[in-house]
Amino acid sequence: MTREFTEAEFMIAQCARLLEDQKTAFIGFGMPQVAAMLAQRLQAPQLVQVFEFGAIGPIPLTPFVRGTMGGPANCYRSIAWTSMNQIFAQAHVDLIDYGVLGATQIDRYGNINSTMLGDDFTRPKKRFPGSGGANEVASYCWKTIVIMLHERRRFVPRVDFVTSPGYLDGTPGARERAGLPSDTGPWRVVTSKALFGFDLESREMKLIGVLQGLTQAQVLAEMEFKPVVAEPLEALAPPTAAELRILREEIDPSRTIVGRPAQ
């Protein structure tokens, strides 16, 4: 199927649509940054982005340059420049509404793995860079949004390593029993094909929307577990012309993050 947009563009646009104006959002490295920038240029000009190295409320300059998260372009026109201990304290007392994170692997209860694959910690089959600040974000923020490519190997019944907490084993009150702050946890999983929430009773991942033109079966085929499926399913709009223009012309003209549609 030829499309006029890329998987990354759809994921980013979907994620950006979830972010509200004049709310605080803890922004992770990479794609979450691009989504927050897009939201700021559309419906949420006063989205207060906060970063783990302590910047609060910047209006990042475009184009986006990967790597410079703590540099002057991303920290432009901040409200305050603080430190990691201070900004995690703000999240700890729950002043941060949203957390936006990337993930390597996720399971049916929204537990995130960004540490390793395999079952021997000392000799992993595949090692990744680790939690960074994701564990804190997933532990503290009111609503955590995970943004990730929709690939079968990334959606597994049980992650090999719980780097950052979702609803743990899915039993009622599991997060609170572990000592995590009440009423927190993963809220949405935004992928290149679909949108998920979590069932309020079972805490299982719940398919709530599918990209227009795709079927439910196509989405479920790319997952190793079967999520709860909402009735009716939302049809998710592809990226709008305005979203694509801002992404391609302002934020990422070199297309290093958003890529180019297949010819």
Partner 1 sequence: MEVLSAGLGEFRFTEPDAIRAWMRDRKRRDFIDKTLTAGEAVHRFVADGDYVSFDFSSYTRGPLGLIREIIRQRRRDLWYCAKFTLMESTLLVAAGACSRIDVGFMGLGESLNRAVEEGRVKVVEWTNGALTLRHLAGGMGVPFLPTRALLGTDTLKYSGARVVTDPFGGKPIALVPALNPDVGLIHVHQADLYGNARCFGPGVSPLETAMASKKVIISADEIIDHEEIRKDPAKTTIPYFMVDAVVPAPFGAYPGGVQGLYEADYEHFAEYTGLEREGRLAEYLDKYVYSVGSDLEMLEKRVGLGRLNGLRRRATIREGYR
234 is catalytic: no
**CA–CA separation, 30 and 239 (whole Å):** 19
Size of the site for partner 1 (CB under 8 A): 57
The one among 69, 145, 195, 258 contacting partner 1 by CB under 8 A? 69
Checking 184-188 for CB contacts under 8 A at 24+ apart, the result is: 184/94, 184/139, 184/140, 184/141, 184/142, 184/144, 185/110, 185/144, 186/110, 186/138, 186/144, 186/145, 186/146, 187/98, 187/142, 187/143, 187/144, 187/145, 188/18, 188/143, 188/145, 188/146
**CA–CA separation, 186 and 227 (whole Å):** 15
Q: How far is the CB of 155 from partner 1 (least distance, A)?
A: 18
Site for partner 1 in 150-209 (CB under 8 A): 161-165, 168, 174-175, 177-181
Q: How far is the CB of 225 from partner 1 (least distance, A)?
A: 19
The one among 7, 136, 204, 243 contacting partner 1 by CB under 8 A? 136
**CA–CA separation, 98 and 167 (whole Å):** 17
Q: How far is the CB of 142 from partner 1 (least distance, A)?
A: 14
What track of x and - describes contact with partner 1 for positions 71 through 100 (by CB under 8 A)? xxx-xx-x--xxxxx--x---x--------
Nearer to partner 1, 53 or 229 (CB): 53
Q: Pick from 160, 145, 156, 50: which is nearest to 102 by CA?
A: 145
State yes or no: residue 253 binds partner 1 (CB under 8 A): no
Burial of 92 (0-12, 13-18, 19+ CB in 10 A): middle
Residue 20 Ramachandran class (φ > 0 left, ψ -120 to 50 alpha, else beta): beta
State yes or no: residue 245 binds partner 1 (CB under 8 A): no
Q: How far is the CB of 204 from partner 1 (least distance, A)?
A: 17
Contact criterion met (CB below 8 Å) for 141 and 98:
yes
Nearer to partner 1, 118 or 259 (CB): 118
The one among 55, 190, 223, 236 contacting partner 1 by CB under 8 A? 55
State yes or no: residue 62 binds partner 1 (CB under 8 A): no
The one among 6, 24, 49, 54 contacting partner 1 by CB under 8 A? 54
Chain residues in the site for partner 1 (CB under 8 A): 51-55, 61, 65, 67-73, 75-76, 78, 81-85, 88, 92, 111, 115, 121-136, 139-140, 161-165, 168, 174-175, 177-181
| Catalytic positions | 52
